[in-house]
Amino acid sequence: MAKRQRPTDGTPADDFVENIVDIDVSTEMEGSFLEYAYSVIYSRALPDARDGLKPVQRRILYMMSEMGLRPEKGHVKSARVVGEVMGKLHPHGDSAIYDTMVRMAQDWTLRLPLIDGHGNFGSLDDGPAAPRYTEARLAAAALELTGNLDENVVDFVPNYDNQMMQPSVLPAAYPNLLVNGASGIAVGMATNMAPHNLGEVIAAAQYLITNPHATLEDIMAYVPGPDLPSGGRIVGLQGIRDAYANGRGSFKTRAKMTVEQLTPRRVGLVVTELPYLVGPEKVREKLKDALNNNKIVGIADFIDLSDLKNGLRLVIELKNGFNPAAVMEQLYRYTPLEESFGINNVCLVDGQPQTLGLLPLLQVFVTHRIDVVRRRTAFRLGKKQDRLHLVEGLLIAIVDIDEVIQIIRSSDEVAAARERLMAIYDLSEIQANYILDLQLRQLTRFSMVKLEAERDDLRREIASLEAILGSEELLRQLVTDELGEVAGKYATPRRTVLLESEALAPSVAKALAAGPAGKAAPLALEIADDPCWVLLSATGQIARTSTADPLVESGGRSKHDVFSSVLQTSARSEIGALTSLGRMLRLQVVDMPVLPPTAALPNLAGGVAAKDFITLTKGETLVGFMPLDAVFAVGTAAGVVKRVTPEYPLNRDDWEYIALKPKDFVVGAGVSTDDDDLVFITQGAQLLRYSAANVRPQGRTAGGMAGIKLAAGDQVISFNVVSPNDPDAVVVTISGGQDALPGTPQGSAKVTALSEYPAKGRATGGVRAHRFLKGEDALLAAWAGHGPAKSSSSTGVARALPVEHGHRDGSGVALGASIDLIGPSLTGSTSAEAGTAATGPGSTTGAADGMPSTHSAPPAPTVDPAPIPASTQEAFELPSD
């Protein structure tokens, strides 16, 4: 048949009938928009309050369950899952389906991921790979949402083309909407729900099942607040209470940030947890913008050290001299390290969008779950009853199975056989059909005993199921028990810390206390030039205090807390560090690690090792700290003395303060005036004391002058600056054998008043300070200065010292325990070879364990007396008066 040609001149065809319908545009637009809005609200954007899923999420999980993608099975291509969902259930774009699928696999998005992804499923800063590259299967927790779908627990509805059926809601064995939260934008409304801890939510649901009239306060005892997948801190709980009460509220989330000593000279802020859905790259970009706009100052560098093994670790390195707490507040203000989360609990309840608080959300879930368990129980009851009916009929027939077979064989047709069986054995039609459908080979597995046992089991199960359906209490108890099983499988500890208000942060609390009328005072951005003490421990740890005087007369002693040098100064000043090889290094006090304030002795375990803070050469050790504006005296192992004038180069950070001869080294130093005495003690037990006025100050390049005349083979082991007017000044000497085996009883100890030793001329041999007993041939340690009540050691172990003061040329009292030598004897060794210095009696180390019994803060600036030389690991204990 030839096709009729349409006119080409624009005239209508002969059979054309014109039909123009007038439609009001506003009415058409209104109707079309309402239809679109309805579709978005009910079919796209809002989750159902019962299972907490949007339609596309529900369809993905259902289709993956139908495909058999269980946790114990292998992964399949994500593109295959997307294609199945799009073709059978969700006639929308594949990108929307895949994006939803990716979100359900991200453990930083959902508190309990529902899909086990394999491949690149993206990160907080990057998107996922294409679906052809990634693979997926159901996570174990998803089975709790899709379980029992084949037991008529929920209603099924047709799909978009009426060719398949899909569940209108999933059974949901736990409150998924509260656990994983939700977000979506519809027309005229939106939802944004925070994730919660599974164990807490299930505990609240169990309490609500047991106590249907529970109040919101009762429920909040179990669910105090959201539990975000990324952890962090939630600051301000009032907004959470508002959201739990009426469905709307907001709270602030903060990163977990701590102050750490990154290097011996650099402090930094380390971020290990970020706010919800904030990525490191976003933090970097906002931080860069804030630095460029001068909104944040005091930051030297930003380093991302995150990896799969250690997790998130962002290091924000601070410039020296800036207050970490103040910089932290700036970061919270100008970067995503603090974000706001607005709760808007909009969801579908019976097909209608509603805004629900915490209690109604749990009530909707509990009602749904009780209905699911009731329908499941009724379904199982029907299955058991049907099976029991068949078993009872088979039991009737199997008693006379030969006659049953004969009846069937003698019947002309199936209907006649069915009628005869029903009439003879009083069977129902279902029972008769079951017998007729049996194959002869099936008769081999039937026996009276087994059938009777199955019948009894079925009757017991039916009675149990009927009891559950007949008792609301048993039904609720079953739901409670099943919730407990889910919590036992998947509950994890809380990740997010809840803070009532910002004032709970230590830095803010301090500012609040300092501010007028209860208002927070702004934190000082730069560290103030407050008084402090710089400390060097006997174990070589360096630190500074944050208080004016750390040497309080209270507290115990810990390792590293024996001070070998203490200098009073201020936080932003410069000091000098003296080394054993005659070098002085300029140090910024603000660069040193600061110890937290404490009412007891500061613990120098929080400091850094001197060798890490100061560049030392091989065989060089740190002697102590000195102010840069005071004359100080030093003594060397070769008996050289020098008083150094404070004239140092301004353009250098290190210089020599004494010109040492080969193999000589500094053994002690101290701030000195003309009124002080200088005291040398040698290994051969000679002591020389004379006035510092006999040593004129010299420039830093001078080599000093003769301080003490040494006998052949002798060397200085102690040099101290002592006030001659101190009535408590003592000399402590510890003798022993240089060749004694470690751990064997060694030598003796003697305490003598310094006044027992007469002043002699400079460069003389001095007087005898200790008479050696049998087995003793040298002093292992010695010290002169203010006598303390007690003394301790680098290990915190004290040793008893003689009660009575001995004569200057007398022998010591045998030690109660051995002196553990660290290295070789002092003969022919440097202070570095001798090991770690131990604090001697009289060091300013605290009243309880090593501080002078009548301690008073020395005038600033000053330095603590030099310690016992580094020949022993143990220090000793002087008796109290």
- Taking the CA atoms of residue 449, residue 454, residue 458 and residue 464 in that order, the dihedral angle to the nearest 10 degrees is 80
576 forms beta bridges with 586, 626
10 Å CB burial of residue 484 (0-12, 13-18, 19+) is middle
10 Å CB burial of residue 370 (0-12, 13-18, 19+) is middle
CB distance 849 to 877 below 8 Å: no
Closest CA to 760 of 752, 769, 751: 769
Three-class SS state of 608: strand
Q: Which residues of 290-305 are buried (b: 16+ CB within 10 A; e: fewer)?
A: bbeeeebebbeebeee
Looking at the annotation, which residues are catalytic? 133
Handedness of CA 245, 246, 247, 251 (dihedral sign): negative
Q: How many residues does the chain have?
A: 881
Longest dimension (CA), the chain: 143
CB distance 669 to 626 below 8 Å: yes
Question: Parallel, antiparallel, or unpaired: how do β-strands 632-636 and 666-671 relate?
Answer: antiparallel
Q: What's the half-sphere exposure (Cβ side, CA atoms, 13 Å) at 850?
A: 37
Query: From CA 466, how far away is CA 460, in angstroms rounded?
Result: 10
Three-class SS state of 165: strand
Angle at 452 between CA 446 and CA 453, to 5 degrees: 100
634 forms beta bridges with 642, 669
| Tokens (6 digits) for 258 | 């701590």
Query: From CA 588, how far away is CA 125, in angstroms rounded?
Result: 40
| E strands, 420-562, in order | 497-499, 531-537, 541-545
CB distance 787 to 714 below 8 Å: no
Eight-state DSSP code of residue 44: I
Eight-state DSSP code of residue 755: G
CB distance 665 to 715 below 8 Å: no
CB distance 91 to 43 below 8 Å: no
Strand order in the sheet with 135-138: 76-77, 135-138, 115-118
